[in-house]
Homo-oligomer: A and B are copies of this chain.
Amino acid sequence: MTLKQLEAFYLAATCASFAVAAQRLHLSISSLSKRIVELEQSLGETLFDRAGHRAALTPAGVRLLPHAAGMLESAQKLLASLGKEAGLSGRCRFGVGELTALTWLPRLLTQASLAFPQLTLEPYVDIGTVLERGVGDGELDFAVVAGRSSRSALASHSIGEARFLWVVATRLAPPGMGAAALLATLPLVTLHIGAGTTRILDQWLAQQEVAAERRLSCNGWGAVAGMLVDGVGVGFLPEGWARALAQRGQLRILDGQAALAPLHYTFQSRRDEPRLLVAKMREIITRVADFSATSALF
């Protein structure tokens, strides 16, 4: 029994497939498979049931899992007690929404690479549901997404909220007009369904008893902002963007009485995540996250 075998077992047991686990170990699938077979031989127990389409933990494997996690955690603490940077090297893959990518992600990368010079940071930008699946499958160490996770295997920690303001091109509407009224004549320009803002938008529409008859969705905030500036329709933008564009006179903020609810963002990772690094990254993110920040693009 070796630590490498235990690590391979732990990841294979917690990731969606051997392929994902192998990727996270920088190992070929075949080598991962052999490591696990060798662990099984050294323990004299079958840990995975390969009968079905995908390998499933046997009862012995289930019994072993917490012990293996404990060993790996002990090993990490051992390393942490000596070399400070130990355990905080290697790669860290994580997911963020586009809003994050365009606001505080650069600052996060600066801070994190300052704190962990040995660490290779690999952010993936995608919509929340994709990121959640990535964390669940073990492809990502964590993700910052809107709202709490519906997956019981993931733990959510609130890290802040983003506020949005309804806007429209200055030339399309006189001052004082509300978003609800404009939606009667202008199309709604927003993100694709599945993005984090979908929920607060639906909530707002229901509350206002307004239906968005014409709807135009795109998969990026940058494109949405561009369309709104060009006068394609009415929509909402992150507060910082809206204020920056309004100040330049390109957009008018529709600050009627009915504002969009703030969108809460959470840090999501596996509930059984043993890596110290993930906890440290959460600390930094909690400190750095600021969804009202203006993008460096402006």
Contact = CB atoms under 8 A, between A and B. Distances in A.
A211 interface: no
B43 A75 contact: no
A79 interface: yes
Interface in A14-41: none
A291 B170 CA distance: 102
Contacts of A3: 1-3
Contacts of A64: 78, 81-82
A68 B74 CA distance: 9
Nearest to A64: B82
Nearest to A70: B74
A3 B75 CA distance: 10
Nearest to A44: B83
B43 A83 contact: yes
Contacts of A75: 1, 71
A82 B1 contact: no
Interface band, chain A: 20 to 34
A33 to B, nearest CB: 20
A86 interface: yes
Nearest to A85: B44
Given A44-B83, A82-B64, A74 B77 contact: no
Contacts of A68: 78
Contacts of A283: none
B1 A2 contact: no
Contact of A43 (B43, B63, B86): B86
A60 interface: yes
Contacts of A107: none
A280 interface: no
A67 interface: yes
Contacts of A2: 2-4
A45 interface: yes
A68 B64 CA distance: 21
Which 7 pairs across A and B sit closest by C-beta, in order of nearness?
Answer: A67-B78, A71-B74, A44-B83, A74-B74, A45-B82, A43-B82, A70-B74
13 contacts: A43-B79, A43-B86, A44-B83, A44-B86, A45-B82, A63-B81, A64-B82, A67-B81, A70-B74, A70-B78, A71-B71, A71-B78, A74-B74
